[in-house]
Structures are given as structure tokens and as C-alpha cells.
Homo-oligomer: A and B are copies of this chain.
Amino acid sequence: MSILPDSVQNLIDEFSKLPGIGPKTAGRLTFYLLSKGGQDVESFSQAVKNLRKNLVVCEKCFNISEISPCDICSDPKRDISKVMAVEEPLDVIALEKTGYNGLYHVLGGVISPIDGIGPENLRIRELLAKLKKGNVSEVILATDPSLEGEATAMYISKQIQKENLPVKVTRIARGLPVGGDLEYADEITLTRALEGRKEY
């Protein structure tokens, strides 16, 4: 005999599928929605239902958008000589807050043999094709400073070298995060911070 009504157990199961949400949190979220009026539940359900509605992948930068090319790619004020290669759409949102004014190229992930993702599964070919057109003077590799992110950045930079493209390839700096504490930094971060030191 199940204690919970099917519809409740069903939503708990669906919440549990999301990353970082275990069965306890899923239960709490479900009962929170239950305690809310039917209007809130309906608007949440609609928001999920409409998520993919009108959504396209930008033909130029492969970011998600409502139109293609997206607002960033079709903005005449952006500096088209700079392209920043990032892993996912969420990275674009974070980077837009820095005031960066160039274009983006969403790779769609990182090279990760353990998950069966090779270079051919990412949009690296498309990036190289973009660079070959000759309008880009700098490509900024802004993949995560993780093992996979570093490997992907290195792979892309080697491919660009191999093709002998006249493009400056840069990698975002790795070092101590602002507000961080030197004493607690790991040795790899410290090594990178030293390597990347600048004249004052």
C-alpha cells in the first residue's frame, strides 16, 4: 500500500530526476506546490510546457534564441572580429555581465571520453569554418578551467594551428578568484596564478 497519492508520487519522481535534487528535496518542493493555489501550479506547469516553444538554435553562434541569427549575432554594435568559444548557453549569460562586446560560439559541451563525447560531437568544425572566413582576428577560449575544459581548449588551439589560420588564440586567465584566500588555494590554482602574473 503506497502512502502517497499517485499524482504526488509522480511529481516527486519527476523532481528527483533533476540534477542536485534528491528524494527529500523533491518531496519538499512537491508539497510546497501543493500548499500553493491551483493558479501557481498551473503557471508552473505552463512554463515547463512552453519551454521549448519558439526556441531555436542560432545558426551562427549555436546559442539558444527565439530568432536565428540571435540578438547578439545580429547586433551591428558588436565587435565581429572577436569570437569567444564557450561550453554552454549559461556561460554566455555569465560573460555578458562582464561587458564583453564580441561574439560567441557555443560548443555544446567539452571533450569527455568518459561520457563518450569526442571533438566530432562538439561544434568545433563549425568554429574552424567560421575562422576560415577571415573576419575574426581573435578567438578567446573560455571553456571551464576543469580537466575537460582545458583539454578542449588545447584541442581547439591545436586545430587552429594545424590549419595555419591567421587568428590570435587566447585563453581566459586562471588564477585566484577575486575575494578568495591565497592560504586556501590549491597548488594548481596557485601555480597558474604565478604563471599568469603581470607587471604592476
Contacts and interface: CB of A to CB of B under 8 A. Distances in A.
A129 to B, nearest CB: 24
A41 B52 contact: yes
Contact of A47 (B10, B42, B46): B10
Contact of A66 (B5, B17, B30): B5
A49 B54 contact: no
Contacts of A71: 1, 3
A19 B28 contact: yes
A173 interface: no
A182 interface: no
A61 to B, nearest CB: 12
A145 interface: no
A188 to B, nearest CB: 25
B41 A88 contact: no
Interface string A117-131: 000000000000000
Nearest to A38: B52
9 contacts: A6-B66, A7-B47, A7-B54, A10-B50, A27-B93, A30-B51, A31-B89, A45-B49, A49-B49
